[in-house]
Structure 1
Amino acid sequence: MPNPRLTGLGSGLFCTVVMFLLGCLDALLFGASMTTYGVLFLPVCVLTALWVREGDLLTAPVVLPIAFTLGLFPVADGKAGVLARLVGVFTGLATQAGWLYSGTLVAWVVVLVRRVSWVRGRRRT
């Protein structure tokens, strides 16, 4: 399994691009299913928290809600212009808050476990 180490900015770009592409794929294949989008968000959270480097660990849970929001644009239910799309994004954020909170919580747990093990490893040396 690859073991990349992303910077804080790199992890933000990674999860934002992946969530936007998954949103486009969800809209294309599954008819913009919000549940599918939420389920696809969870592995992105775990990968982002695992692949960020130790010095930037605390940035991973911060960029995930931003990536979730930007990835909602292709899935949002706005058919008549920009304002309708924004209303669809805000509606998606309100109705899919459980997926957003779950993914962010999973990322926080992974980050905290990695941070504790990193600090313990530094104390030993």
Structure 2
Amino acid sequence: MEQSIRTQPPGPRRRRPPGTGGAAAVPGPAAPPEPGAAGPPRPAGARVPAARLRLRLRLPSALGAAGRERRRSGRPARLTAVGTGVLALGGTLAAAAVDRLLFDGLGVLFGLGYLVVCFQAAVRVRLADLPAAPISGPIAFAVALLLLGPVSASGVTAQVVALASGLATRAGWLFTGTALAAVIVAARFVAQRRFRRSRNSG
């Protein structure tokens, strides 16, 4: 008994909690989480980080603002030189086909359709391809006359004569549509140069 009392260190004894085993658990460093293990579940009332919340709020607002600006501006889509030629040829051929189907010839409806096509081509062509509008119009006009115009006889010579006579009889529509496209293109070119000068001087 005396020997056991001597071997114990001086001071009060530590009491073990009831229900523990022979050896008490010694606290140590926490084990690192496994790579594949998911983190602790986020509570229902946890806040989303401020940067992520701002990003979520900005994306829908930016998209909505862009859509509203596009609807307000109402600017037509700009066409390249190839697109302008396709528009002029397709629109002129459509007007010629409808005129020939309804009135068995190329008359007023064909001329009005050509004016509309020249106006649309001059308005929709982009600034880098402005000369394409007044050039593609007469080419489309001649192709429409060559394909859908009346031909009295067969052969290359008869087609050339029919094309020349068709251009001569419908020269008013041809010159009016081409002049309309040229005026619109010139006005857009001058306006763009003035805008660039004012921006550079300012």
TM-score > 0.5, shorter chain as reference:
yes
- In the TM superposition, residue 18 of structure 1 has moved relative to its aligned partner by 1.2
Identity rate of aligned residues, in percent?
Answer: 37
Deviation digits for residues 5-51 of structure 1, max 9, x if unmatched?
11112101110111112111111112113232112211111100000
Q: Which runs of 5+ in 2 are unaligned?
A: 1-73
The count of residues paired between Structure 1 and Structure 2 equals 125
**1:105-120 equivalences in 2 (<5 Å):** 105-120=179-194
- Structure 1 or 2: larger helix share? 1
2:117 maps to 44
Match of 2:139 in 1: 66
Tell me, in whole angstroms, the C-alpha distance in 2 between the residues paired with 1:30 and 1:103: 22
Gaps of 5+ in 1: none
Q: TM-score, normalised by structure 2?
A: 0.57
Alignment of 1:69-88 (within 5 A): 69-78=142-151, 80-83=153-156, 84-88=158-162
CA distance in 2, matches of 1:67, 1:31: 20
Of 170, 175, 183, 1:101 maps to 175
Q: Does 1:22 align with 2:90?
A: no
Question: Which sits farther off after the overlay, 36-45 or 83-92?
Answer: 83-92
Larger radius of gyration: 2
User: Higher relative contact order by CA 8 Å / sep ≥ 6: 1 or 2?
Assistant: 1
